[in-house]
Amino acid sequence: MNTKEYFDSMASKWDEVTKHDSKKIEAILDLIGIRKCSNIMDVGCGTGVLVSYLNKRVGENGKIVCVDISDKMIEIAKNKYRDCTNVSFINADVNNLNFRNYFDYIICYSVFPHFEDKKNTLLNLTNMLKKGGYLAIAHSQSRKQINQLHKSLPHPVNTHILPNINHLRLLANDKLAVVKSIDDNEKYVVVFKKI
């Protein structure tokens, strides 16, 4: 089983087995500082956990592009948000997309451990950001909790590890500067700015 197949197999029960604390999500999005009318990419959107939160922040003149490698997850998200005219869904590996200097914000919420080549993914995401745009890598659980959870799951997810912030800084390219970071018992958030 590969990563895509794992998430395809989990899609129908994902909303039942995964719980996200809305207060923590709001706090994470506050840290990112999303402005009205922004263009946002939600990477690894799954069943659309962040869509309603992001939509509220960008307003009807903002755009949200949701990307996921799992076609089953995208199908569920599309059905949940079919009435949102400013939200689009792309079933793809984010590393295969051709956006350049387009997004004000790119958010990787609860997905970063699942990228096989994290350094290359960070570079590709950087290229999709406008200069001065923000890239956020976030989880509403601690790094320790995320890594323990993944170790208990089937292969290949059991090898998907969330790096500590110092290691993440080393993976980042010279166009990304860390502007905020939290790695505590409650959450993991790193916000980069494209310089």
CA distance linking residue 138 with residue 153, whole number of Å: 20
Residues of the chain above pLDDT 70, percent:
100
Q: What is the mean pLDDT of the segment spanning 72-88?
A: 97
Q: Structure tokens of 191?
A: 């916000």
> Exposure of 7 by Cβ count < 10 A (0-12 exposed, 13-18 middle, 19+ buried)?
buried
Domain boundaries, the chain: 3-7+35-184
**What pTM was computed for the model?**
0.96
Phi, psi of 149 (to 5 degrees): -60, -50
CA distance linking residue 153 with residue 15, whole number of Å: 17
pLDDT at 145: 95
Query: Is 59 in contact with 72 (CB distance < 8 Å)?
Result: no
Distances (CA, A) of 62 to 37, 51, 103, 110, 154: 4, 12, 11, 23, 38
DSSP character for 117?
S
Domain 3-7+35-184 has CATH 3.40.50.150: yes
CA distance linking residue 43 with residue 39, whole number of Å: 13
pLDDT in tens, 113-124: 999 999 999 999
pLDDT at 19: 85
Average pLDDT of the chain is: 96
Residue ranges in the chain assigned as alpha helix (H): 3-10, 14-17, 22-32, 51-58, 71-80, 118-128, 143-151, 165-171
